[in-house]
Structure 1
Amino acid sequence: MPIIQYRRPDAEAVQRLIQSGIHPVIARILAGRGVAEPESVALLLRALEQPGSMRDLEKAAHLVAECVLKQKNLFVIGDYDVDGGTATALLMDFLTQCGARVDFLIPNRVTEGYGLSPALVERAAAHQADCLITVDNGISAFAGVEAAKARGMMVIVTDHHLPGQGIPPADAVVNPNQPGCRFPWKSTCGVGVAFYLAAAIKKVLIAAGHPPVHGLDLGQFLDLVALGTVADVVPLEKNNRIFIRAGLKRLRQGTARTGLLALMRVSGISPATVQAEDLGFRLGPRINAAGRLEDMRVGVRLLLTRDAEEADTLAKKLHSLNGERQQIEAEMLEQALERAQQLLPEFAEGLPHPLTDEDAQAVQAPRILCLQDPQGHEGVVGLVAGRIKERTGLPTLVFAPGADAGVLKGSARSIPNVHIRDFLAEMDAQHPGLILGFGGHAMAAGLTVRTQDFDRFAQIAQALALQRIPFDALAHRVWVDGEIEADYCTLDLAQEIEAFGPYGNQFPAPLFIGTFRLLKSQRIGKDGQTLKMSVALDGAGRTGQPLQAIQFKRGEVPDPEPGDICRFLYTLSVNRFRGEESLQCIVQQVMEPVSTAVV
């Protein structure tokens, strides 16, 4: 059972928001997420942070603009995830419209690995590249940058990942997380940095009187920025929420790029009602499938094409690849769960709380999980690590064989209280050579180890975790926005909650707790894992109107009976079906019945 914690928004902030005309429940939600003033609510595009404080941005813009004007050969060096793919497409499209000579390269995840490598430099050199521009990578590419410089190439690094020891010797490095950068929104992802670079290049080219940029609308790229920002699961600070809301507006207006409209069609998404969740859970995985299983160039081609027939073909290919990815993930997850259950003593489905450190030591409870799948696919290890982390509440690392013999590629997913990149950095400092390479941020990281070193790696990771991760940090805490009065539990409120999005990392979707009387229920779906219910809020001495509720992935547990009074953790949702909208409660968890119906 999770530990329920209530958000305690500042009462004065709530009142200011209510006085400005905001619904009391919405005011409570916003204030609980740090939105304290009415003027901070609108998320207008004109409030987007100006890029003047981003270190090296102006320098990079002048260098790239000079290459455009002199018709030098530019190559965008991308990454194989959605953030890298959208950033690649953005700069490719923008520079092409500027009249530049530009192409792109994205390393194959399996055969070439991550980022700007010396091997990738050789590929660029074969195409007579004069300037390389990295997007969503490069901050740790010392060898790649040095190889490019040795060949006389200009190198512009744009990235958002945390630097390691030092900064590579590029001609310009644009990264909000590098030392000395005063840009305030450190959570800007790779495609966001690329957008700012495009804006700066446009400004330089306008000053130079370059005709192609006159009338070039940067707004056309906001659908890409929104998709990459949501898919990369970066913290949704104000600037990122502005990006996402502006991008969603273009998608809903039907003015998004041809490839995204085609991908929405094969995904069953109506542009008019598309939400941030659709970008993260439906569009993003389909584009990611290209980089995981085949080649991210397929995804970039989809994002670049203006031909509707080609877009449909590529969208169907990505849809098929995603189905293949889902099958591989399911098989790997089954294997990983079996191994996790062997490592976790008597509590395989989540840790019992609260436990003291002494209790945890007594049962040798792991603080971190390191799992290896000898037949696994390295393109899916991150997804499996995330699933295991959600099931167990533990930071999880999953490894599979890499393309090179004797090497494992791993992916880590962490929890809010454990900075996984810093954890790996400490391991690397204490045991040089154990980790062949790593990178990432607080919640996710990638790494490479020798197959023969895996057991030693796992033992050292566990020992360090016992020192650095207090058991209390692993407690499964769920933050809720309190209860909703029956009169407020309406379709209008659900629509307002939706309108005040987007929601995501560090700006979570509102989660409520409430007491409900179960009127009726039934299991539905092919596997019978979905519980459909009719319920009524039960509180303050009165029962509300009947509501439709649904719980997915219910599992093999007994269902409450009609007449039972239960506590739910739930969200309010707008259910859309055949052009009609209705209120629906999405139940995250059914707590034990408060009282049971007398039969």
Structure 2
Amino acid sequence: MKLINKKIDESIKQKLINTGRHPIVSQILAARNISSSKDVDYPIEQLLSPNKLLNCDEAADFLSDAIQKQKKITIVGDYDADGASGSSVAILGFRLLGIEVDFLIPSRFKNGYGLSSEIVDMANTKETDIIITVDNGIASFEGISHANDLGIDVIVTDHHLQAENLPDAKFIINPNQKKCSFPSKNLCGAGVVFYLLIAIRKKLRDQNYFDNLNVDEPNLLQILDLVALATIADMVKMDFNNRLLVHHGLRVIRSQQCNLGLKKLFMLTNKSHLTALTSDLSFVIAPKINAAGRMDDMSLGVACLTATNENEAHEYARQLIEFNFQRKKTETDMQEEAQAIMRGFNNNNKTICLFNDKWHQGVIGILASRLKENFYRPVIIFAQDESGYLKGSARSIEGFHVRDAIDLVAKKNPEVIVTFGGHAMAAGLTIKKDRFDSFVQSFEEVAESILKPEDLSEIIEVDDSILQDNINVHIIDEINQLEWGNGFQRPLFTDTFDCVDQKVIKGLHTKLNLTKHNQTFESIFFNYQESIPDRVKCLYTLETNKFNNTNKVTLNIKKIIHE
């Protein structure tokens, strides 16, 4: 691991100070990839236009007509937080536009990913006229062909990378299809369908739809809370357009207009939505929604986020939290088993591929992420599905496009991989069980041809320490309330401390007191139980503790730095 201090653009820093920002906040922002103070100012008017999304205008024409004819529309989502949030955005958005739509979320365990022929048949039993996919569809060739045979129109809204060819859908809206010139390629699934809803509203406005019904034109900004959740949860890159979406989504979350299901998830976790941070969406809310798809049925997540009354929302949120407890227990067991396997790991290997026939298919992605963090290698974890195939979840490192790497394996060994898809940093695949060893070997060979030894040393960018600057709760709150996420990273700091007290709590985490500059900081190191030396260098984020009327700056330890 190598630590590099972020470079501060002094000119940008001064301009930010001149706009009224605190000097410390300005320093941190000036160390990000921004070219002017306008890059951290987010007027809604700066949102990219939907007409720049290929096929969005034509699809909006088609759907505005379908709304007025009250055609039966079914949303087909995905079983992760982006898919559930995006499906909920679609359901709530169409409701605001004057039509109730149905939805289907494929089971991770029974149906697998995407719009399959089986899911199309389920939609057909609902007398569906139009299927709109959310966060999937770009690779659903068979399912879309089957829908066409049944006379069901399919509109794909997706953000995943396309293959060489495209399915024969009525319309495909995806900023990452090759002919799309939309400036931001980083929209999540919920973001794409939100853009479609904006375009539909404009078509309806132009047709005097709202005036003719004597109703107010709906404010679609009220569902940006779910777009913000999905953007953070799916870890898409936080370019300006995504930061703008998250900025306005956070404003909704921090207001009384916050989604009912989100409110209840915050409340039952003893947090307030009124002070929500992007880190709360990442580490508090998203895991609970994801737990439904990992452990059972993501329809529960959609039900929570589309609940129409307090009692419904409360009960659905309670069930999500229970599923998350189950997920944590399963994850702990799987981590222990994986650690036992990894004791014999050959450090010369550039990849990690593990399979255990007892592992839970819904938790392999989390395990892959944990191992990637610990060993800094591309990782694929496999579990067996009900039909005997192995489902794999991949997580990667910088410089290794894991979806493309799996594609190379598929081209060299077409008999090994059944299906695959994904992004640079994460992917999913299905392989034949008897081909596991062959896949592991081929995947390692691909990595050997791409990765150099230095690529396996993690580089972490850190901000200059601010502990000596008389920081207080207000400054840290101002920092943490910003639109942090992938590619616009929340500040990470490193310092050397004296450890004056430590204890393991709940058998899982280490609570400690660290001193520096004659200040003592309460600190927490999650999922760490080993003894910490008296003198220790840490990688950490700064938090605030306001529990029981206290107001303290605290440290969240991310890593111990061994020098």
Whether the 8 Å CA contact 1:289–1:325 is kept in 2: the answer is: yes
| Cα-to-partner distance string for 1:184-224 (whole Å, 9 max, x where unaligned) | 11111000011111111111112222236633110220111
| Cα-to-partner distance string for 1:549-597 (whole Å, 9 max, x where unaligned) | 443344323421xxx5x5433322222212442212333344469xxxx
1:557 aligns with 2:531: yes
CA distance in 2, matches of 1:321, 1:550: 25
1:581 aligns with 2:561: no
1:490 aligns with 2:464: no
Aligned-residue offset at 1:176 = 0.6
The letter of the residue matching 1:511 is L
Whether the 8 Å CA contact 1:14–1:36 is kept in 2: the answer is: no
The letter of the residue matching 1:400 is A
CA distance in 2, matches of 1:75, 1:260: 23
Instruction: Name which of structure 1's ranges 43-52 and 123-132 shifts more when overlaid on structure 2.
Output: 43-52
CA distance in 2, matches of 1:232, 1:127: 30
Within a 5 Å distance, the mapping from 1:190-589 to structure 2 comes to 190-211=189-210, 214-345=216-347, 365-405=348-388, 407-484=389-466, 486-499=468-481, 501-518=482-499, 520-527=500-507, 529-537=509-517, 544-560=518-534, 564=535, 566-589=536-559
Partner in structure 1 of residue 125 of structure 2 = 126
Partner in structure 1 of residue 46 of structure 2 = 47
The letter of the residue matching 1:8 is K
The letter of the residue matching 2:368 is A
Instruction: Name which of structure 1's ranges 486-495 and 218-227 shifts more when overlaid on structure 2.
Output: 486-495
Output the TM-score relative to the length of structure 1.
0.90
Aligned-residue offset at 1:507 = 1.0
SS at match of 2:503: strand
CA distance in 2, matches of 1:574, 1:249: 20
Shift >6 Å, 4+ stretches: none
| Cα-to-partner distance string for 1:341-360 (whole Å, 9 max, x where unaligned) | 22335xxxxxxxxxxxxxxx
Instruction: Name which of structure 1's ranges 435-444 and 566-575 shifts more when overlaid on structure 2.
Output: 566-575
Aligned-residue offset at 1:488 = 4.0
Aligned-residue offset at 1:528 = 6.9
Whether the 8 Å CA contact 1:332–1:373 is kept in 2: the answer is: no
Aligned-residue offset at 1:403 = 1.8
Identity over aligned pairs, percent = 36
The letter of the residue matching 1:85 is A
Within a 5 Å distance, the mapping from 1:65-84 to structure 2 comes to 65-84=64-83
Instruction: Assess, with a 3 A threshold, how the Cα gap between structure 1 residues 99 and 554 changes in structure 2: closer, same or farther.
Output: closer
Aligned-residue offset at 1:299 = 1.0
The letter of the residue matching 1:204 is K
Aligned-residue offset at 1:272 = 2.0
| Cα-to-partner distance string for 1:366-395 (whole Å, 9 max, x where unaligned) | 101110011111111111111111111111
Instruction: Assess, with a 3 A threshold, how the Cα gap between structure 1 residues 567 and 380 changes in structure 2: closer, same or farther.
Output: closer
Instruction: Assess, with a 3 A threshold, how the Cα gap between structure 1 residues 292 and 568 changes in structure 2: closer, same or farther.
Output: closer
The gaps in structure 1 that reach 5 residues or longer are 346-364, 538-543, 594-599
The gaps in structure 2 that reach 5 residues or longer are none
CA distance in 1, matches of 2:490, 2:14: 21
Count of residues in correspondence between the two structures: 560
Partner in structure 1 of residue 148 of structure 2 = 149
Q: Considering only aligned residues, what root-mean-square deviation do their CA atoms show, in Å?
A: 1.9
CA distance in 2, matches of 1:17, 1:107: 47
Instruction: Assess, with a 3 A threshold, how the Cα gap between structure 1 residues 485 and 83 changes in structure 2: closer, same or farther.
Output: closer
Within a 5 Å distance, the mapping from 1:150-169 to structure 2 comes to 150-169=149-168
SS at match of 2:3: strand
Whether the 8 Å CA contact 1:206–1:214 is kept in 2: the answer is: no
Whether the 8 Å CA contact 2:507–2:529 is kept in 1: the answer is: no
Partner in structure 2 of residue 12 of structure 1 = 11
Whether the 8 Å CA contact 1:75–1:131 is kept in 2: the answer is: yes
SS at match of 2:344: helix
Whether the 8 Å CA contact 2:228–2:250 is kept in 1: the answer is: yes
Output the TM-score relative to the length of structure 2.
0.95
CA distance in 1, matches of 2:148, 2:545: 55
